[in-house]
Amino acid sequence: MGAAPKLARLAAHEETLTGTTGYMSPSKAALRPAVHENAAGDLTAARRVLSYASEALNTLSASLDDDFTRAIGMILAAKGRVIVSGMGKSGHVARKTAATLSSTGTPAYFIHPAEASHGDMGAITRADVLLLLSWGGETAELSALLTYAKRYRIPVIGIGSSTYGITLNGAAQQNQSEVFRWAWDNTLTYNKSFGLHSLNVVVGTSALQENLSFSYEYGTGFASNNVQTLNSASSQLALNTTRYAWSTNSYFGRLTYAYNDKYLLTATLRADGSSRVGTNNRWGTFPAVSAGWQISKESFMENVNWVQNLKLRAGWGATGNLPPYTMLYPSYSLYSTGYPYGFSSSSPVPGTVPASQFGNVDLKWESARQTNIGFDAGLVDNRVTLSADYYYKKVHNMIFTQQLPLTTGGKTEAVNLPGYDVNKGFEYNIDAAIIKHKDFDWSVSWNMSFNNNKMSGMDTSISYQTGGVEVGGSKTNIYTGIIKNGYSLGTFWGYKVLGIDQSSGNYVYSDNPQSLGSALPKYTFGFTNNFRYKEFTLSILIDGVHGNKVYNETRMETEPLTGYTNESSEVLHRWEHTGDKTNVPTALGNGTTNTAAAAKLQNQIASNYVEDGSFIRFRNLTLGYDFKPALIKTIGLSSLHLYATAQNLFIITHYKGYYPELNGFGSGTNNQAANAGSASSLMALGVDNGTYPAAKTFTVGLNVSL
């Protein structure tokens, strides 16, 4: 365990160890006498470290002098691996401290807190103690580093005025949430058959309401670990409660008619109302109609023995879609509590300030209208089945959360985009029982889908940005995508890299931004094989996509070729000399003549970060064994199946990131968007901003039937 147990023993009787934070502050406790005796020589070294620190930061007070001495004394007495960290002036002290500790024989290493935000914290996971210096108010920047230390249960010694939790004598928070939903559905059905005709009619209503409530409580200043509830907090008590509600109400009807079970017709109509659209457009009407012809039941098919089923079908219908779940009151401009206001001699009254949303009472339901033509077939005693469809889908009144100028006093407004989102394509599925034998079966299933997407009917002079990302802790969105007439959703928009200038080693960019490809694939596919040999079964599933692009925003963080953070090994292939053949530019130092080029690597969307997202994946492998009935009957079982499953075994791709199947903004329904595409949205596809890869999973199990 290294030095961690020693540090725990040192602090065993110190009241400054709080379970709520897990940090130690040497300023409020003295080391035990035995430690002083054993570490007398070490404290001399501590003074040596302090002299370097004081030289670097002359503003150290006498109390911090004592804190620093005690902290170094504890570290040297423990004789373990030390990580020292700090930012700004504190970072300068931390570097000096790590170097001086190393010179005394203590394994000490400096880590910049920014490295925690990139997940590059392999060093800290092997540390015995973290010494954290903070005099500059860098609480937010240090939070990721403290999270790592807590995750790996590494003791933290904090020195300074702003290290979170250390000077607070513990901090705690409690979050509670409750969702209450009720639904009430009523249907009335009428069935009637007369001769070769059959009729089915369904009418009904549906109502739903959801109430959501949340509370947040926070407090600091805990006397001890004995009471770990917020009633023992002595200061900085905070309370916040939130409540939401939304509802829908629907009326619907469906008529189904069949003649001789050969000619089929279905018509539906539904009217939906919701509180989640504009008050002037609460209701939306969505009709649909479909027809089918069972060709295989016609008299002219009686002698076609190899066709068991053949059905032609066509349909048209409209479906409705609501704004994203993050926007439950799009009609209303929202307000937040502000400072109290005093008028004349009257007492101050509570104030309000505009919040993040402007209301839109005219917001309409988003509606997708789709035409579909297809057929189903069963051939060769239904050993081969085939289903194929051509579709044309046009989305009207797309709901989009538009970013507003700050001069409006608000931030966003839900609007219906002009124009249409058009999808058209072809998809099919084939199932075949290739071999059917007493001891051996082999069946396959293959499906494939082709899709073409394009925005149409929009004003060509207007475009909307989507897929905002924050790079390098800038807190300012850089938008990766665009919604523009004539281009597909998921289109990346930026500058094309034309090559590397051999005189400077910097990228050469196109003069104007342009389309850098789309995150939507040209086609997707899946392929399943099922085998059976006697009592053994084997199932293999392979799937993949082709033709889509991925914006690897992670590389903007890990390949900036400037600054102090660790970078990926890709930068080892950077341009260094005239004539070097590489697609990685030169290293760019801060404050040099390359400052402008360095800035572009982290604040300009460009093709060097756009990669091919195509892949083929070995998704599932399942091996099973069915025990013979005669064997398991003796133990009172009717069936017993043993199986082993492996998921996501491997993937074949040219993508440089962890995993090509991703969406940094989730996957919304239809075209929902929030915060200009920064929340779940199909308008902000294919951005990898640290998406976690799919895990390989291995499972062994039994299915038992009595």
Q: Which amino acid is at 6?
A: K
Instruction: Tell whether 278 and 406 lie within a shared domain.
Output: yes
Instruction: Tell whether 285 and 411 lie within a shared domain.
Output: yes
In angstroms, the CA 138 to CA 269 distance is 59
- Domain hosting 37: range is 33-159
In sign, the C-alpha dihedral spanning 629, 635, 639, 644 is negative
Q: Is residue 194 part of a domain?
A: no
Helix, strand, or coil (residue 316): strand
Instruction: Tell whether 155 and 255 lie within a shared domain.
Output: no
- CATH code, domain carrying 147: 3.40.50.10490
Q: Which residues contact 85 (CB under 8 A, 6 or more apart)?
A: 91, 94, 110, 111, 112, 113, 130, 131, 132, 133, 142, 145
Q: Which residue has the tokens 């609460």?
A: 282
Phi, psi of 22 (to 5 degrees): 80, 20
Res 695: pLDDT: 87
Instruction: Tell whether 259 and 376 lie within a shared domain.
Output: yes
Question: Is the pTM here over 0.85, yes or no?
Answer: no
Q: Is residue 175 part of a domain?
A: no
β-bridge mates for residue 625, sequence order: 536, 642
**Inter-residue contact 29 to 16 (CB < 8 Å):** yes
Q: Which residue has the tokens 């109509």?
A: 269
Calculate ∠ Cα 242-248-251, nearest 5°: 170
Give the tokens for residue 55. Answer: 């030289």
Q: Which residue has the tokens 């009729």?
A: 199
Of 140, 159, 178, the residue that ends a domain is: 159
Of 159, 190, 217, the residue that ends a domain is: 159
Burial of residue 474 (CB within 10 Å: 0-12, 13-18, 19+) is exposed
Q: Is residue 657 part of a domain?
A: yes
Res 677: pLDDT: 33
In sign, the C-alpha dihedral spanning 155, 157, 162, 165 is positive
Residue from 210, 162, 157 nearest 183 by CA: 210
Instruction: Tell whether 256 and 397 lie within a shared domain.
Output: yes
Q: Which residues contact 93 (CB under 8 A, 6 or more apart)?
A: 53, 56, 57, 86, 133
In angstroms, the CA 645 to CA 627 distance is 18
**Inter-residue contact 632 to 679 (CB < 8 Å):** no
Beta carbons within 10 angstroms of residue 698's beta carbon: 10
Q: Which stretch of DSSP H or E encloses residue 291?
A: strand 283-294
Instruction: Tell whether 263 and 130 lie within a shared domain.
Output: no
Q: Is residue 213 part of a domain?
A: no
Instruction: Tell whether 613 and 507 lie within a shared domain.
Output: yes
Instruction: Tell whether 482 and 590 lie within a shared domain.
Output: yes
Of 159, 181, 200, the residue that ends a domain is: 159
Instruction: Tell whether 154 and 255 lie within a shared domain.
Output: no
**pLDDT tens, position by position, 24-50:** 333 332 222 222 333 334 444 444 444
Residue from 379, 374, 376 nearest 308 by CA: 379
Instruction: Tell whether 456 and 576 lie within a shared domain.
Output: yes
Q: How many residues does the chain have?
A: 706
Res 221: pLDDT: 83
**3-state SS of 440-482?**
EEEEEEEEEEEEEEEEECCCCCCEEEEEEECCCCCCCCEEEEE
Res 271: pLDDT: 97
398 backbone φψ class: left, alpha, beta (φ>0; ψ -120 to 50): beta
Instruction: Tell whether 429 and 565 lie within a shared domain.
Output: yes
- Mean pLDDT of residues grouped by 10 in the chain (706 residues)? 29 26 31 30 45 41 51 66 73 74 73 60 64 59 65 67 57 84 97 95 96 85 79 79 91 97 96 95 96 95 93 96 84 77 68 80 95 96 96 93 74 87 96 94 97 93 82 71 91 94 90 94 96 96 96 87 78 89 80 68 89 96 93 86 95 92 51 34 72 88 91
**Number of domains the chain is built from:** 2
In sign, the C-alpha dihedral spanning 164, 168, 170, 173 is negative
DSSP string, 217-262: EEEEEES-SS--SGGGEEEEEEEEEEEEEEEEEEEEEEEEEEETTT
Res 691: pLDDT: 77
Q: Which residues contact 566 (CB under 8 A, 6 or more apart)?
A: 115, 118, 120, 558
Residue from 154, 95, 147, 90 nearest 116 by CA: 147
Residue from 323, 326, 407 nearest 363 by CA: 323
Helix, strand, or coil (residue 391): strand
Res 166: pLDDT: 52
Q: Is residue 229 part of a domain?
A: no
Res 229: pLDDT: 83
Res 220: pLDDT: 81
Q: Is residue 25 part of a domain?
A: no
How is residue 606 annotated by DSSP?
B
Q: Is residue 245 part of a domain?
A: no
Instruction: Tell whether 275 and 146 lie within a shared domain.
Output: no
Give the tokens for residue 446. Answer: 């293959």
Q: Is residue 22 part of a domain?
A: no
